[in-house]
Copies of this chain bind each other. A is one copy, B any other.
Amino acid sequence: MRFCPNCGAAVVKRVPPGDSLPRYVCDSCGDIHYQNPKLVVGTVPEWDGRLLLCRRAIEPRYGYWTLPAGFMENDETTAQAALRETLEETGAQVEVAAPFSMISVPHVNQVHLFYRARLLDLEFRSGAESLEVALFEEARVPWREIAFRTVGLTLRHWFADRRNGAFGFHTGDVAAR
């Protein structure tokens, strides 16, 4: 059972007039409570050909390595979200450049967006959500301990583009396994 955030009455799931999908509808106050995908935004922070990864101190995927990223918040832009998440998770100051990858993850209702970024110095440290933070050259990336497929895809695209001398914008999606 679900309740209306607006008035506290019980809500039912049904297709509202003029709509095509079932929604949580409140018959008491008339509110319709839409549920939509969330943006997870982060960076691919580079220092001299090496990338900054964090080992997760939280679930899901505790102990696995990831790029700094997290849920975009209200009142910010995607680039601001990328900068904020990088600072929160790695302590690193970065210059955010162009968007680099955007990958839909429909089975968890998320879209993952990564920007290229340049570390401004080597002042990084693990934060509340990271066990360790470290720079990796391609041959040293812990490929078998990457937390999420969107991160693995983004890292592979980044190293391939760097070898080719031109960074693109990569899009796609990952399906439930």
- For A164, list chain B residues within 8 Å (CB): none
- For A104, list chain B residues within 8 Å (CB): 76-79
Q: How far is the CB of A66 from chain B (nearest CB, A)?
A: 18
B7 with A5: CB separation less than 8 A: no
- For A88, list chain B residues within 8 Å (CB): 20
Stretch at the interface among A34-42, A137-145, A151-159: A34-42
Q: How far is the CB of A18 from chain B (nearest CB, A)?
A: 6
> A59 contacts the other chain (Cβ, under 8 Å)?
no
> A161 contacts the other chain (Cβ, under 8 Å)?
no
Stretch at the interface among A47-55, A67-75, A118-126: A67-75
Question: Which A1-57 residues sit within 8 Å CB-CB of chain B?
Answer: 2-8, 10-11, 18, 20-21, 24, 33-39
B2 with A3: CB separation less than 8 A: no
Question: From A77, which residue of chain B is reached at the shortest CB distance?
Answer: B104
Question: How many A residues, CB 8 Å from partner?
Answer: 43
> A128 contacts the other chain (Cβ, under 8 Å)?
yes
- For A34, list chain B residues within 8 Å (CB): 71
Q: How far is the CA of A71 from the CA of B21 in the complex (A)?
A: 13
Q: How far is the CA of A173 from the CA of B173 in the complex (A)?
A: 25
Question: Which A47-102 residues sit within 8 Å CB-CB of chain B?
Answer: 71-80, 88, 98-99, 102
Question: From A104, which residue of chain B is reached at the shortest CB distance?
Answer: B77
Q: How far is the CA of A8 from the CA of B39 in the complex (A)?
A: 27
6 intermolecular pairs with C-beta atoms under 8 Å apart: A2-B6, A5-B33, A8-B10, A36-B71, A77-B104, A98-B169
